[in-house]
Amino acid sequence: MPKALIVYGTRTGTAGITAQEIARTLEEQGVSTRVVNAKEGKVDSVAEYDIVIVGSGIQIGRWTGEPESFLKKFQRDLAGKRVALYVNCGSAAEAMNPGKPEVAANARRDYLEAKAAKYDLAPIGLGFFGAIYNFNKMSWIMRKGMEQERPKLAAAYKETEPGVYDTRDVEGIRNWARSLLPK
Ligand SMILES: Cc1cc2nc3c(=O)[nH]c(=O)nc-3n(C[C@H](O)[C@H](O)[C@H](O)COP(=O)(O)O)c2cc1C
């Protein structure tokens, strides 16, 4: 049975929820998966994995530190593997930036393509996924800023729980995960 490792970093949970969705999808395809929150779990080796997926949520243009440390630590081992990267970010929520396709294009370049280049990786997939905005968990200052965006969010996306807006295309995430498997 092929094995996949999914390592993620998150600040508010989105990249972890996405990691679980990717894992569930791969498991359905007969892949054995291990999901690691890079802040809590430790990976000693990637030798046993056929696919390694590394992801992060984005704040102020940056990945979290832990999955980046993982990429640095295993850079050489990852060079010979099927590797994929993903991010969860607001820039991927197209309805939040109407008529500005450059927002998503620039973010994809900065958060994914540049990261792959930095660690000399040739990923088999770059997953560019939307954000989850949780008004219950935001700092006071963030909520103040986001309240202005809330009508736009509410018009375009589902409120999955009171105050929680999921801008991710979950079927898109599942299709992406399946695309990582050899044909
Ligand atoms: C303080 C803050 C800063 C953010 N900065 C960015 C950003 O620079 N670019 C972007 O596309 N999204 C940005 N976002 C949206 C997040 O990427 C989004 O909420 C994502 O779901 C976070 O993932 P996480 O929960 O895994 O950390 C920001 C969100 C917050 C709360």
Q: Residue 52 belongs to a domain with what CATH number?
A: 3.40.50.360
**Ligand 1 neighbour 96 (Cβ under 6 A):** no
Residues 122 and 153 in one domain: no
Instruction: Identify which of 10, 66, 89 to mutate to test ligand 1's pocket (most ligand atoms within 8 A of the CB).
Output: 89
Q: Whole-model pTM?
A: 0.96
Residues 45 and 120 in one domain: yes
145: containing domain: 132-166
pLDDT score of 175? 98
**Ligand 1 neighbour 57 (Cβ under 6 A):** yes
- The DSSP string of the chain is --EEEEEEE-SSSHHHHHHHHHHHHHHHTT-EEEEEETTT------TT-SEEEEEEE-BTTB--HHHHHHHHHTHHHHTTSEEEEEEE-GGG-GGGSTT-HHHHHHHIIIIIIHHHHHTT---SEEEEE--EEETTTS-HHHHHHHHTTHHHHHHHSEEEETTEEE---HHHHHHHHHHTS--
Split into its structural domains, the chain has a count of 2
Residues 119 and 148 in one domain: no
**Amino acid letter at 85?**
L
Instruction: Report the nearest-CA residue for atom 8 of ligand 1.
Output: 60
pLDDT digit of tens for each residue in the chain (183 aa)?
999 999 999 999 999 999 999 999 999 999 999 999 999 999 999 999 999 999 999 999 999 999 999 999 999 999 989 999 999 999 999 999 999 999 999 999 999 999 999 999 999 999 999 999 999 988 899 899 999 999 999 999 999 999 999 999 999 999 999 999 988
Residues 22 and 89 in one domain: yes
pLDDT score of 166? 96
**Ligand 1 neighbour 18 (Cβ under 6 A):** no
